[in-house]
Amino acid sequence: MNDFTFDDYKTMIEDHIMDFMPDVDLKSITLYEAMKYSISAGGKQIRPVLLLAACDFCGGKAAEALPYACAVEYIHTYSLIHDDLPCMDDDDLRRGIPTNHKVFGEAVATLAGDGLQSVAYEVMQKDMLLYFDDPDALKRKIKAALEIVKGAGVKGIVAGQIADIEAENKSVSKELLDYIHLTKTAALIVAAVRAGARLGGCSEHDLENLTVYAENLGLAFQVCDDILDVEGNAEIMGKQTGMDAEKMKATYPALYGIEESRKKLKQLTDNAINALSEYYDNAELFVKLAGELATRAS
Binds ligand GRG (CB under 6 A): choice among 12, 17, 46, 294: 46
What's the start-to-end Cα distance of the chain, in Å?
Answer: 30
Q: How big is the site for ligand GRG, counted in residues (CB under 6 A)?
A: 17
CA of 276: how far to CAs of 33, 69, 182, 245, 280, in Å? Answer: 41, 22, 20, 35, 7
Query: Min. distance of Cβ 49 from ligand GRG in angstroms?
Result: 10
The phi, psi pair for 93, rounded to 5°, reads -130, 135
- As measured in angstroms, the least distance from the Cβ of 152 to ligand GRG is 8
165 binds ligand GRG (CB under 6 A): no
* Residue 151, Cβ density class (10 Å: 0-12 exposed, 13-18 middle, ≥19 buried): buried
Which of the residues 222 through 251 are near ligand GRG (CB under 6 A)?
A: 222, 225
Which position among 99, 161, 241, 251 is part of the footprint of ligand GRG (CB under 6 A)?
161
Contacts of 246 (CB under 8 A, 6+ apart): none
Taking CB atoms, the residue at the shortest distance from ligand GRG is 43
- With contacts defined by CB under 6 A, name the span among 56-64, 119-127, 153-161, 262-270 that binds ligand GRG: 153-161
* Contact region with ligand GRG (CB under 6 A), list: 77-85, 256-264, 267-275, 280-288: 77-85
The length of the chain, given as a count of residues: 298
- Identity at 223, one-letter amino acid code: V
Other CB atoms within a 10 A radius of the CB of residue 209 amount to 20
Separation of alpha carbons 48 and 156, rounded Å: 17
Nearer to ligand GRG, 151 or 200 (CB): 151
Which of 38, 100, 185, 251 binds ligand GRG (CB under 6 A)? It is: 185
The residues of the shown chain that bind ligand GRG, judged by CB under 6 A, are: 43-44, 46, 76, 79-80, 82-83, 95, 157-158, 160-161, 184-185, 222, 225
